[in-house]
Amino acid sequence: MNRGLAGSMGAMTVALALASMTLVRVDGQARSSAAVKAPAKTWSQPRTPDGQPDLQGVWSNAAITPLERPAAFAGREFLTEKELADNEKALQPRTRESAGTEAHYDFLQYGLDPLQAKRASSRRTSLIVDPPDGRIPPLTPEAKKRAAARAEARKQTGPFDGPESRSLGERCILMAGEGPPMLPEAYNSNIQFQQGPGYVAILQEEIHDVRIIPLDGRPHLGPNIRQLMGDSRGRWEGDTLVVDTTNFTDTTNFRGSSENLHVVERFRRVDEETILYEFTVEDPTTWTRRWKAELSMVKTKGPIFEFACHEGNYGLANNLSGARAQEKAAEEAAKRSGK
């Protein structure tokens, strides 16, 4: 698996979504969360032996809806049915080639194309539902300074100087969609819920990270323990699991966040095949107000396979050695032309 393309695949996903707004109808019935009605009268919430609503199993949160509403859809919360259908027809498999080489990346070949992912259909034009414009709120002045300092620091080094030059995803430390909040990944966007007495555990396929969420009302960790994925605490409000996460590091950097990031997620199984997932993000030192998004997860066939990302990270090694080879070639070319 060439993880070197991973960083750009995230960008590609967004670019593709912006360009074509491809939304796929999975079950012949477009569903937006606004149109999610109360469950059909024949379905009742399954429960675990200790009485929790049963979320267990493997679910896909793949989506083509972008997080933020593209400018082309300003003022429009939903597509029409026809627009949704047209987008489905327009969806093309993604391939990528590198000019002048034999390298190609065919997503279909390994079942990694979004066409092949099971996902909830949605007429939404963005996952963000609040603010009403479907966009992340403005950064605070403090956050703008932080972002500028980061950009300045990046200018001091090249994009392939060392492993720290690359994204946390490319280094197999943390994928961009892991959060919390959990966002769709470019592929293998699978999540497994496991429940035991007093706990809900959420396993994300990429990168085999498990959030083990106690339900006993204990306080968060003290302020001096920080974690890339924060520290989660959960409780049931009726049939909705509410998960509160704090104690993030300042390198988590979710869309520019600081260590004051605070995420509240809500999970509710609305029928046999669907979990409605909503999340609220706030960080008063980063955004001028909090923001909220929602998407649905659909039941998919398990099991989740082992995602031994770091163990197989040839991509990062290849990127760095490729950069060193390019530098060497440039050096030698300069020497030759200098003579």
Partner 1 sequence: MIVTVAVLAASLAVRPVASQDRTYKAHRTADGKPDLNGIWQALNSANWDIQDHSTAPGPWAALGAAGAVPPGQGVVEGDEIPYLPAAAAKKKENFANRWTRDPEIRCYLPGVPRAAYMPHPFQIIQGTKTIMIAYQYAGAVRTIPMDDPGPSPTDSWMGWSAGRWEGDTLVVDVTGFNDQSWFDRAGNFHSDALHVVERYTPRSPDTILYEATIEDPNVFTRPWKMSMPLYRRVEKNAQLLEFKCVELSEELIYGHLRKKASK
Within a 10 A sphere around the Cβ of 315, how many other Cβ atoms? 20
**Helix segments in the chain, DSSP class H:** 6-20, 81-90, 141-155, 314-338
User: In the complex with partner 1, which residue's Cβ is closer, 67 or 200?
Assistant: 200
Q: Is 331 in the site for partner 1 (CB under 8 A)?
A: no
* Exposure string over 112-147, b if 16+ CB within 10 A, otherwise e: bbbbebbbbbbbbbbbbbebeebbbbebbeebeebe
Q: Is 100 in the site for partner 1 (CB under 8 A)?
A: no
How many residues bind to partner 1 according to rule CB under 8 A?
51
Contact 150, 234 (CB under 8 A): no
User: In the complex with partner 1, which residue's Cβ is closer, 25 or 220?
Assistant: 220
Rounded to the nearest angstrom, the gap between the alpha carbon of residue 275 and the centroid of all alpha carbons in its chain is 16
Measured over the CA atoms of residue 167, residue 173, residue 175 and residue 180, the dihedral's sign is negative
- Pick from 11, 97, 197, 329 the residue near partner 1 by CB under 8 A: 197
- Pick from 228, 240, 255, 285 the residue near partner 1 by CB under 8 A: 228
The least CB distance from residue 195 to partner 1, in Å, is 6
Q: 62, 14, 19: which is closest to 296 by C-alpha?
A: 62
CA angle 55, 58, 61 (to 5 degrees): 95
- Pick from 81, 111, 288, 305 the residue near partner 1 by CB under 8 A: 305
Given the structure tokens 């323990």, which residue do they identify?
A: 225
> Reduced to 3 states, what is the DSSP secondary structure of residue 204?
strand
Site track for partner 1 across 154-183, x = CB under 8 A = ----x-xxxxx------xxxx---------
Q: Is 215 in the site for partner 1 (CB under 8 A)?
A: no
Q: Is 327 in the site for partner 1 (CB under 8 A)?
A: yes
Residues at the contact surface with partner 1, assessed by CB under 8 A: 48-51, 56, 158, 160-164, 171-174, 192, 194-199, 201, 203, 207-210, 212, 214, 218-219, 221, 225, 227-229, 303-306, 308, 310-311, 316-317, 320-321, 323-324, 327
